[in-house]
Chains A and B, each alone.
Chain A
Amino acid sequence: MDLSAINPVLLIASLMVAATPLLLAAIGELVVEKAGVLNLGVEGMMITGAIAGFAAAVESGSPLMGFVAAAGAGALLSLLFVVLSQIALANQVASGLALTLFGLGLSALMGQKYVGVKPPAMGRIDIPVLSDLPVLGRILFSHDIVLYFGIALTAVVWAVLKYSRIGLILRAVGENHEAAHALGYKVVKIRTLAILFGGACAGLGGAYISLIRVPQWTEGMTAGVGWIALALVVFASWKPWRALLGAYLFGGITVLQLNLQAAGVAIPVEYLAMSPYLITILVLVILSADKSNAPASLGRSFHASR
């Protein structure tokens, strides 16, 4: 066992990378659920975003194009969920599960000729002076731009939900859709926009895995991150900063346990592999003990005539 082989600076830097796909997907789903919609299709939208982003980046040679395509693909797939759950008023749980299964199959089909291909690399930002700082420079100031985008998005979503009128309307729709309708707000339209936003975020998260974290394409490579994102939203009590905390915690323990495995710690690999799930859920359950504030209309279909 050689713990000295673990470099704490690299560890923190790589945990931020490991956490970002989860954070992006969770923030998107948080907005969707705040609007009162439960979309269980996060995993499907992520994997679709992963392959769409990968393909677009390979074909165009620009990773940024890849991310744009991934967001578009995620939103496009979520449009299917809009049709099912908002227009046809199908059960949201069943529609979401269908979306995940569909996304997994679709991505495998789309990705057939991309197995083993190497995507163009995403450049890291390089800020003079800051990026050259010892320790801090490596941890904070030398990542790719999408990682910063994830953190900025968390801040923006938090501020919009808390302080802006559009955020207030979104929360109102998720809280009591009948009352929101009676006041003249367009419930279905607001929910549709929220679902599209959630789809785009999930797509971005998926592309982050296939373009930056791994980076390559293999079938089913999101490996359950979408489900973790769903759980994270609940355990984070629908609060953006807690989702960030949970994502970093999960990412951190994932990276740490990989390092511990490499260092040959005398704990069976299976226990190490399950530790991120256990610890993240445990911490967030303790945090969310104050009170549950699930949006009151979460998962309920809305039709103006009822």
Chain B
Amino acid sequence: MSTPPLLTIEGLTKAYPGVVANDHVSFTIGTGEVHALLGENGAGKSTLVKMIYGLVKPDSGRMTLRGAPYEPAEPRAARADGIAMVFQHFSLFDALNVAENIALGMENPPPLRDLAARIREVSETYGLPLDPFRTVGDLSAGERQRVEIIRCLLQDPKLLIMDEPTSVLTPQEVQILFQTLRKLKSEGTSILYISHKLEEIRALCDHATILRLGKNVGECIPAETSARDMAELMVGTALKTPERGVREFGDVALDISGLSVPAPSAFGTALKNVHLTVRRGEILGIGGVAGNGQDELLSVMSGEVTCARDAVKFDGAPIGHMGPTARRALGVLTAPEERLGHAAAPDMSLTENALLTGSVREGLERNGFLKWGATRAFAEKIIQAFDVRTPGPDNAARSLSGGNLQKFVIGREVLQRPEVLVVNQPTWGVDAAAAASIRQALLDLAAGGAAVICISQDLDELMEISDNFAALNEGRLSAPRPTAELTVDEIGLMMGGAHGMEVAHV
């Protein structure tokens, strides 16, 4: 390694009851180096960075920072040693303003007025403009991330840890973030970058450490390694990419025209004059940054929010006024984004959860009485067909890992033979192998003659499976365009560009 080491990690081990999260992990981060940490969900990336940030104590192993032993007892100590972290799920307080949020992450914050001036100064320097007195609850996801980054930068960090920073950004915002990170690197700041977006890692990082099931399974120079090789190191087996057969498009199955719905809550988004049609056999991909109307659009299609009769049509018949059960009876099924609490009831068993959406189409009740035997068989069928890893259908939905529950939730709808299936973020937080199988299931469903709408923030996923692509931006839906003709730049523009970000004044 050309640069002197900043942080050396040797044999770090952390076990939780029943699972070893990290098993003798070792690597070194150089000064001014962008180091990637790669791995599937559950590979132990989060536990590892929590140990570096002082949130979790390692069972054994050693860390050395600038040649001295480093054992942070709490985040405060880590921050004092120049380590800052941008969290995957932002650790922000919605009801507080930007300056207050930043003050909370600092050891000895200056008075609020001085702090506001410094926030303005630093945010301008790094091309991340921010108004210190805006309430965080009103900010977009990209702006919220700026708050987190500036909170870190104000502490003048030597090592910046970023956990999945780009999952909520448009491509243009990602470019601006990368410019900021490169500027930081040129100033000698080291960055530990966690992601499973391989192309980003190839574009940004100098060095990568790959974790699988808590173990360090390899290192590479991302720029010299293909994305496929890295993915296979992560998964441990050869990767199967979903195959899209040649499909014939049939008649229009779902037709939404001139749909406007007011925002359901203060932090929600109103849908404005949305038009879309999807034919049998077609997969329509809907992209956009989170919070631009995805949840609202899904709830209009599921029937959770009803609208004018003619605004939503299924096979030419108006269904806008129908609730979810009536739509399910017709074959319009949905799988929402939030797994725990929306798609599944966390404390109910998988059997009970199978019943909740399956009772209508699978005939799981008679005269108000439930057929538990048939329901259990249906749940077992889902578990088997979608390779859900669980001891059995009597386990609570909460006990499954995110990826496994996602497979269950998607499988539950797919196995009900939908005419139209609407999914929101079908592979969010799911590892590469499970994501591939979910995408394959969606493709197979379309090949069987169903119309599929896939709402997602993962552009690679939409490019991979959808025939047409449209983007949601502030509640408006762009005109759909064939995916094959689109470039990443065009998609970015459809998603609303960079939301007023500017390039860093390097």
Q: Please give, as numbers and ranges, the residues of chain B lying within 8 Å of A182 by CB-CB distance.
A: 55, 75, 87, 91
- Most chain-A Cβ atoms within 10 A of its Cβ — which of B76, B93, B103, B105? B93
- Given A168-B103, A182-B87, A183-B104, does the pair A176, B92 have CB atoms closer than 8 Å? yes
Whether A284 sits at the interface, judged by CB under 8 Å, is no
Q: Please give, as numbers and ranges, the residues of chain B lying within 8 Å of A172 by CB-CB distance.
A: 93, 96, 100, 104
User: From A294, which residue of chain B is reached at the shortest CB distance?
Assistant: B95
Please tell me if the beta carbons of A175 and B76 are within 8 angstroms of each other in the complex: no
Whether B264 sits at the interface, judged by CB under 8 Å, is no
Q: Please give, as numbers and ranges, the residues of chain A lying within 8 Å of B76 by CB-CB distance.
A: 184
Please tell me if the beta carbons of B74 and A176 are within 8 angstroms of each other in the complex: no
Q: How far is the CB of A178 from chain B (nearest CB, A)?
A: 7
Please tell me if the beta carbons of A175 and B87 are within 8 angstroms of each other in the complex: no
Please tell me if the beta carbons of B94 and A175 are within 8 angstroms of each other in the complex: yes
Q: Please give, as numbers and ranges, the residues of chain B lying within 8 Å of A291 by CB-CB distance.
A: 266
Q: What 1/0 mask marks residues of chain B from 42 to 69 whose CB sits below 8 Å from any chain A CB?
A: 0000000000001100000000000000
Please tell me if the beta carbons of B91 and A184 are within 8 angstroms of each other in the complex: no
Whether B429 sits at the interface, judged by CB under 8 Å, is no
- Given A165-B103, A168-B104, does the pair A176, B75 have CB atoms closer than 8 Å? no
- Give CA–CA (A171, B103) in the complex, Å: 13
Please tell me if the beta carbons of B103 and A175 are within 8 angstroms of each other in the complex: no
- Most chain-A Cβ atoms within 10 A of its Cβ — which of B54, B96, B104, B105? B104
- Given A165-B103, A168-B104, A169-B104, does the pair A183, B91 have CB atoms closer than 8 Å? yes
Please tell me if the beta carbons of A183 and B96 are within 8 angstroms of each other in the complex: no
Whether B109 sits at the interface, judged by CB under 8 Å, is yes
Q: How far is the CB of A234 from chain B (nearest CB, A)?
A: 16
User: From A305, which residue of chain B is reached at the shortest CB distance?
Assistant: B16
Q: How far is the CB of A113 from chain B (nearest CB, A)?
A: 49
- Most chain-B Cβ atoms within 10 A of its Cβ — which of A168, A172, A176, A183? A183
User: From B107, which residue of chain A is reached at the shortest CB distance?
Assistant: A184
Q: Is the interface of A mostly helix, strand, loop or mixed?
A: helix
Please tell me if the beta carbons of A184 and B94 are within 8 angstroms of each other in the complex: no
Whether A296 sits at the interface, judged by CB under 8 Å, is yes
- Give CA–CA (A172, B95) in the complex, Å: 9
Whether A179 sits at the interface, judged by CB under 8 Å, is yes
Please tell me if the beta carbons of B74 and A184 are within 8 angstroms of each other in the complex: yes
Q: Which parts of B249-268 form the interface with A (CB within 8 Å)? A: 266
Please tell me if the beta carbons of A184 and B100 are within 8 angstroms of each other in the complex: no
- Give CA–CA (A88, B271) in the complex, Å: 45
Q: Please give, as numbers and ranges, the residues of chain B lying within 8 Å of A183 by CB-CB distance.
A: 75, 91, 104-105
- Given A176-B91, A178-B91, A183-B105, does the pair A171, B54 have CB atoms closer than 8 Å? no
User: From B77, which residue of chain A is reached at the shortest CB distance?
Assistant: A184
Please tell me if the beta carbons of B96 and A179 are within 8 angstroms of each other in the complex: no
Whether A112 sits at the interface, judged by CB under 8 Å, is no
Q: What 1/0 mask marks residues of chain A from 226 to 270 whose CB sits below 8 Å from any chain B CB?
A: 000000000000000000000000000000000000000000000
Q: Please give, as numbers and ranges, the residues of chain A lying within 8 Å of B109 by CB-CB distance.
A: 165
- Give CA–CA (A295, B93) in the complex, Å: 10
Please tell me if the beta carbons of B93 and A184 are within 8 angstroms of each other in the complex: no
Whether A60 sits at the interface, judged by CB under 8 Å, is no
Q: How far is the CB of B495 from chain A (nearest CB, A)?
A: 27
Q: Please give, as numbers and ranges, the residues of chain B lying within 8 Å of A175 by CB-CB distance.
A: 93-96
Whether A91 sits at the interface, judged by CB under 8 Å, is no
- Most chain-A Cβ atoms within 10 A of its Cβ — which of B79, B105, B266? B105
Interface residues of A (CB under 8 A from B): 165, 168-169, 171-172, 175-176, 178-180, 182-185, 291, 293, 295-296
Give 20 CB contacts A-B under 8 Å.
Answer: A168-B96, A168-B104, A171-B93, A171-B96, A172-B104, A175-B94, A176-B93, A179-B90, A179-B91, A179-B92, A182-B75, A182-B87, A183-B75, A183-B91, A183-B104, A184-B54, A184-B74, A184-B79, A293-B95, A296-B95
Given contacts A178-B91, A183-B105, A184-B54, 12 further A-B contacts (CB under 8 A): A168-B103, A169-B104, A171-B93, A175-B93, A176-B94, A179-B90, A179-B92, A180-B93, A184-B55, A295-B95, A296-B94, A296-B95
